[in-house]
Structure 1
Amino acid sequence: MSKYYCKSIITAMMLFFALYSSAQTDTIKVIKAGRFIDVQQGKVLLNQLILIDHDTIKAVGSNIVIPAGAKVIDLSNATVLPGLIDCHTHLTAQPGENYYDDLFRKTPIDYAIVAHIYAKRTLDAGFTGCRDVGSAAFMDVALKNAINNGDIPGPRIQPATLFIGSTGSHGDLDGFSPYLEFTGPKQMSGVANGVDEVRAQVRYNIKYGAEVIKFGASAGVLTEEESVGSPQYTQAEMDAIVDEAHLWGKKACAHAHGTIAIKMAVKAGVASIEHGSFLDDEAISLMKAHGTYLVADIYNDEYIMSDYAKHGTPAKIINKEKLVGQAQRLSFQHAVKAGVKIAFGTDAGVYPHGWNGRQFKYMVKFGLTPMQAIQSATLNAADLLGWTNKAGAIAPGKYADLIAVTNDPLADVTALEHVQFVMKGGVVYKDEIGGK
């Protein structure tokens, strides 16, 4: 064998090991966590090491051997916890300067152009995952795909696509003269009536990317139909929506403020009640018996009451919020005391994206401990979304989705309003701690 040939082999081997070492440095990470919130056990552990390979957690413990060449991220002066999950967002929109301009002068393209900004703000706020429960023109699916492809930064998204609602309901443009015609693509509206139509709408949504089905069991607040809580589907229609979703292996969730509509949706088999403003003892008992989650957006009343009138929102909508806001918080308190399962959801998009963490304060004020509030946005949220195998805790086999704050959120949960470190899938997207 010639000296030249041997030298070439040695050079190639050196290059291989150099590249391998570089790959190890880029993909193998160890986080030093000074305080580690173990949401599975509901306790805090000190001085833990988190070993990450590419996008996955490989080991957690105090005696892990740090591999040679691993990148060490020092968060020894911070509290580390799982990436948060918001189960009720609308990432493709948020309030503009004028209520009617938003309704009539903007197209889905206007919203799509800025949706990536809202996604980034959500991720920067520490929310590495979310369920997006209603978006026009399948924008939520496009946003999810762009994030998953690495084109833009943002949280993991479970999209619901089109909100399914009956004619004249919270899911239908309402309150205007019948002589006014709105000629957008009918198949993009989500409006469906009767058992056959609602089944067809569920299939349509799933065909184009829905991973959860969202429908309007009751009237709502931020639209112009008169009632807040009256049922807007029959029991047969709700049963059909949920049954069709289940046939396709999907869960369903119900927008439901009113007591009767909540009970109807729970009986239909929804995975979660969104809002749940007017709960009575029977509704709570039904939710417990069916294992139904409550996803109550108990922060955003503050923003609606302080800002919406400034943007020309009709008085009837503001008046409905006055009726609902405090009742919803008392219902939440009642549900917590009774042991209803709680998952974190804010209705982000009703207020500016990135403010998601402001809700923790209200969840604690109305009955949860700080640990329970954090679990609602981690363990419970992952369970509701069907993500338990990959998200909701910092544990081997799960995605390396984690955040850190310098203050202790168990002592003051408002620390989660200002998340300083965000990692999603092993990639650091935000570091104001200097974890190097």
Structure 2
Amino acid sequence: MKSFCLSVVLLAICAPTHGQTLIHAGRLIDGLDDRPREAVTVVVDGERVVAVESGYRQPGTDDEVIDWRDGTLMPGFIDMHTHLSSKGGKGAYMDPFTQNPADLALRAAANANITLKAGFTTVRDLGDRDNVTVSLRNAINAGLLPGPRIYTASKTLATTGGHADPTNGHKHDLMGDPGPAQGVINSPEDAYKAVRQRYKEGADLIKLTATGGVLSVAKSGENPQFTQDELQAVVRAANDYGFKVAVHAHGKEGIRRAIEAGVTTIEHGTYMDKSLFGLMKKKGVALVPTLSAGEYVAKQAKVDGFYPDIVRPKAEKIGPQIKQTFADAYKAGVLIAFGTDAGVFPHGENAGEFVLMTQAGMDELDAIKSATSVAARVLGDESVGAVEAGRYADFVGVKGNPLEDISLLLSPAWVMKSGETVVQN
């Protein structure tokens, strides 16, 4: 009798004292399983999922029901490569001379809202100016602004004249000699100071440019720009401070050095080959392909005046190659984490990456998992990226089956973040 009474008391204590949200989903792609589930109820209490049940649970008196029986429910998407404060293309090269930190912060806030409404409830921001995405992350977390969860690298690390040297293209008396505080390093000692500066400024991870890049005002888009000792120093320092390391890289030698140094992700990976695919698998390094950016820059390179003359040949050459390399990497079994490089192209168009990935041969379900559970694992945050008990109530809903028509993801009919509806069409 005492045991029965104790059970009754425990049930009364543990039972919710308020209504829950019951989502009746006709089809659930939970981000984990290899096939969708049919006719399920996802139970949300506050900002978390508390249960995923077969069948359609009957609501209690205070429960709210969201009827998604004629649609597909998925986890909120994760974009592992964005630049929320950036607006790429024509005119962007004047930003250092025309945009104040407040201008960049307001632009980033607007882009964050657009990104969230597109179904991306979590993003990595891989390079900004003036730490604006650190402040934006904090404002979103405090509930002051709408936007996705942000993991920001703050200022990208580069070498002098490298892809993320903030003074490339400036006239000589404005170039100066930026150092670790500005994200420019030229020795292992500089690497430690630069990583520690990012820690001091509140970054969540480290981003560096191991090779030349497409859009920087510099000749090469693929030459190695860090020594092996410098890369290893960055990774050692990052490990000391609990940072993962994302690496922009196009050329093979720079990619090889970065993988050997123990980085977390290779962004773009344009000229990788089979030997590097094998090395990535051995070292557990993921590829973030950014097909959207490659396609966009190749197209815009044909428009007179859109990019400086020094940029156009790189965009025409590197852009189309990214898609083929991605296709080869996927076939080889390299771990793929979804990322777009939004900011190079317009924000809010992130889901176009799904279309490009499947065009290149990726299975539709694998593409969705790359933006959900796989991205969460690579990010190091498994409170997101799947629909299961204990994770955040982040959802994307579409009317129809994205495994049959991936383009449905371009315009989500419903988006929820942390139990709060963001978009409902």
Q: Secondary structure at the match of 1:352?
A: coil
Provide the residue aligned with 1:429 in structure 2.
Answer: 422
Task: Supply the distance in 2 between the matched residues of 1:103 and 1:197 (Cα, whole angstroms).
Answer: 24
1:62 to 33, 40, 54: 54
Q: Secondary structure at the match of 2:27?
A: strand
Provide the residue aligned with 2:412 in structure 1.
Answer: 419
Provide the residue aligned with 1:130 in structure 2.
Answer: 123
CA contact (8 A) 2:297 2:316 kept: no
Q: Bigger shift: 66-75 or 193-202?
A: 66-75
Q: Secondary structure at the match of 1:102?
A: helix
Say if 1:340 and 1:142 are closer, same or farther in 2 by CA, change over 3 A.
Answer: same
CA contact (8 A) 2:26 2:71 kept: yes
**Which structure 1 segments of 5+ residues have no match?**
1-19
Task: Supply the distance in 2 between the matched residues of 1:341 and 1:384 (Cα, whole angstroms).
Answer: 9
Q: Secondary structure at the match of 1:137?
A: coil
1:111 to 104, 121, 132: 104
Provide the residue aligned with 1:380 in structure 2.
Answer: 374
Task: Supply the distance in 1 between the matched residues of 2:284 and 2:196 (Cα, whole angstroms).
Answer: 25
1:251 to 227, 239, 244: 244
Say if 1:197 and 1:305 are closer, same or farther in 2 by CA, change over 3 A.
Answer: same
Shift of 1:179: 2.9
Shift of 1:281: 1.5
CA contact (8 A) 1:218 1:228 kept: yes
CA contact (8 A) 1:140 1:161 kept: yes
Shift of 1:407: 2.4
Provide the residue aligned with 1:15 in structure 2.
Answer: none
Residue 77 of structure 1 pairs with residue 61 of structure 2: no
Q: Secondary structure at the match of 1:429?
A: strand
The superposition leaves residues 183-216 of structure 1 with CA deviations (integer Å, 9 ceiling, x where unpaired) of 7996652112100111111011012111111011
Task: Supply the distance in 2 between the matched residues of 1:174 and 1:183 (Cα, whole angstroms).
Answer: 8
Residue 349 of structure 1 pairs with residue 352 of structure 2: no
Residue 45 of structure 1 pairs with residue 76 of structure 2: no
The superposition leaves residues 253-311 of structure 1 with CA deviations (integer Å, 9 ceiling, x where unpaired) of 11111100101000000010011000012111110101100001112233223346466
The superposition leaves residues 63-92 of structure 1 with CA deviations (integer Å, 9 ceiling, x where unpaired) of 445333111111111110000000000011
Q: What RMSD in Å do the two structures reach over aligned CA positions?
A: 2.0
Residue 297 of structure 1 pairs with residue 290 of structure 2: yes
Q: Secondary structure at the match of 2:335?
A: coil
Residue 239 of structure 1 pairs with residue 235 of structure 2: no
The superposition leaves residues 297-346 of structure 1 with CA deviations (integer Å, 9 ceiling, x where unpaired) of 11223322334646642122121011112221111111101100000000
* Aligned pairs (5 A) from 1:8-407: 24-25=18-19, 28-63=20-55, 64=57, 66-95=59-88, 97-173=90-166, 176=169, 179-182=172-175, 189-307=182-300, 309=303, 312-388=306-382, 390-407=383-400
Say if 1:114 and 1:411 are closer, same or farther in 2 by CA, change over 3 A.
Answer: same
TM-score by length of 2: 0.92
Counterpart code for 1:57: V
Q: Secondary structure at the match of 2:150?
A: strand
Shift of 1:93: 1.6
Shift of 1:94: 1.4
Task: Supply the distance in 2 between the matched residues of 1:344 and 1:284 (Cα, whole angstroms).
Answer: 17
The superposition leaves residues 330-386 of structure 1 with CA deviations (integer Å, 9 ceiling, x where unpaired) of 111111011000000000000111000001111111121000000000011000110
CA contact (8 A) 1:99 1:313 kept: no
Say if 1:32 and 1:323 are closer, same or farther in 2 by CA, change over 3 A.
Answer: same
Q: Secondary structure at the match of 1:38?
A: coil
CA contact (8 A) 2:218 2:311 kept: no
Counting matched residue pairs gives 409
Task: Supply the distance in 2 between the matched residues of 1:76 and 1:96 (Cα, whole angstroms).
Answer: 42
CA contact (8 A) 1:137 1:188 kept: no
Larger Rg computed on CA atoms:
1
CA contact (8 A) 1:32 1:73 kept: yes
Q: Secondary structure at the match of 2:65?
A: strand
Provide the residue aligned with 2:8 in structure 1.
Answer: none
Shift of 1:97: 4.7
**Which structure 2 segments of 5+ residues have no match?**
1-14
TM-score by length of 1: 0.90
Q: Secondary structure at the match of 2:123?
A: strand
Q: Secondary structure at the match of 1:315?
A: coil
Task: Supply the distance in 2 between the matched residues of 1:202 and 1:188 (Cα, whole angstroms).
Answer: 9
CA contact (8 A) 2:250 2:270 kept: yes
Provide the residue aligned with 1:409 in structure 2.
Answer: 402
Q: Secondary structure at the match of 2:292?
A: coil
Q: Could you tell me the percent identity over the aligned residues?
A: 38
Say if 1:55 and 1:176 are closer, same or farther in 2 by CA, change over 3 A.
Answer: closer
